[in-house]
Structure 1
Amino acid sequence: MPVLASVTLRTRDAIKGIWREAAKFGAVGALAFVVDNGGYNLLVFGLPGGARGGPMSTSPVQASVLATAAAALFSWAGNRYWTYRHRHREKVAHELVLFLVANGVGLAITAGTIFASRHLLGLDSPLSDNTARVLGWVLATLFRFYAYRRYVFVAP
């Protein structure tokens, strides 16, 4: 029985730790989502109620890349100094390179959903763009959570 109790306690503590980490990761991600989607919509569609589109209305994939890159920088700072503050590396440059690689894959996932929506399905409305971006964000977020834990912010 003591072995079972020990395993149960360790499992409970591990799950509690992952949930706490996932909650912080989610909070940083939610704010990064606002930066990303807000930036994208401003770049492509302009200010709400504006008569014309945004400055990148004819370049939605590039706008997606730019908005996602800005959100990634925000996310790195939030995750490094809050979510994973106890796990970050001594060599900031090495950590940042790994972070950027993981986010490059995430960026490709998000931009890929816009590309598929616009160029493969022929959809170009704000609803279809934002639906494609949300789908891309979900897929990219699952990948990033795994990559951050496994490769970027490793325990010292």
Structure 2
Amino acid sequence: MLRRALRSWYRLHRIVREGLKFATVGSVGFIVDIGLFNLLLFAGGQGPLHDQPLLAKTLSVTAATIVTYAGHRLWTFRHRARVKLARGYPLFFLFNGLGLGIALACLGVSRYVLGLSGPLADNISANVVGLAIGTLFRYWAYRTWVFPAHPDADPRRRDPKAEPVHV
């Protein structure tokens, strides 16, 4: 019973630690994303893409994706199995693309369905609502497919009498 409780505590501790790292790297990506998005749309009153918010969001997310892939591979998920770069990088971009789709859908509904525009409306729809939903999706997808657990780190595959694996 005590061993099971300790194993559960260890798993929870690992997930919380990994989640905090994910949030830290994501925060850097968020700064890149929101900074570039606002620069492209609103710099000097009317940014270079002031009339193209979906393109501005696509470019800002692409830049943030490059930054966060490096952070997640080298720090957040460094203890997890390494998939080949030729597989992991495209999967990472695919899931970021789906996360981008979530943010774009929120921005598109806000802008073109609800008729809300301007810095506050665009930022709330794309960078609060869309980003929150997209982040939950990406965390799940990265852990599942891009940075999977080591097969020997799965407690169901180990000897129940063995000591916990410290990663």
Q: Provide TM-score, normalisation by structure 2.
A: 0.86
Q: Which residue of 2 aligns with 1:10?
A: 7
Q: Is the alpha carbon distance of 1:15 and 1:88 closer, same or farther for their aligned partners in structure 2, counting shifts above 3 Å?
A: same
Distance 1:38 1:111 in 2: 17
Q: Which residue of 1 aligns with 2:21?
A: 24
Residue from 125, 131, 135 that aligns with 1:137: 131
The alpha-carbon deviation at position 88 of structure 1 amounts to 4.5
Structure 1 counterpart SS, 2:115:
coil
Q: Which residue of 2 aligns with 1:81?
A: 74
The list of structure 1 runs, each at least 4 consecutive aligned residues, that deviate by more than 2 angstroms after superposition, is none
Kept in 2, the 8 Å contact 1:88–1:95? The answer is: no
5+ residue gaps, structure 2, are 151-167
Distance 2:114 2:31 in 1: 26
Kept in 1, the 8 Å contact 2:41–2:51? The answer is: yes
| Superimposed CA distance per residue, residues 98-125 of structure 1 (whole angstroms, 9 cap, x where no aligned partner) | 1111111001011111111100100111
Kept in 2, the 8 Å contact 1:95–1:152? The answer is: yes
The alpha-carbon deviation at position 59 of structure 1 amounts to 0.3
Superposition RMSD in Å = 1.0
Matched, 1:103 2:96: yes
Distance 2:22 2:41 in 1: 28
Distance 1:44 1:90 in 2: 37
One-letter amino acid of the counterpart of residue 109, structure 1: I
Q: Which residue of 1 aligns with 2:142?
A: 148
The alpha-carbon deviation at position 90 of structure 1 amounts to 4.6
The alpha-carbon deviation at position 155 of structure 1 amounts to 2.5
Kept in 1, the 8 Å contact 2:91–2:145? The answer is: yes
Q: Is the alpha carbon distance of 1:88 and 1:65 closer, same or farther for their aligned partners in structure 2, counting shifts above 3 Å?
A: farther
Paired-residue identity, %: 43
Kept in 1, the 8 Å contact 2:99–2:134? The answer is: yes
One-letter amino acid of the counterpart of residue 75, structure 1: T
Kept in 1, the 8 Å contact 2:69–2:92? The answer is: yes
5+ residue gaps, structure 1, are none
The alpha-carbon deviation at position 58 of structure 1 amounts to 0.7
Q: Which residue of 1 aligns with 2:31?
A: 34
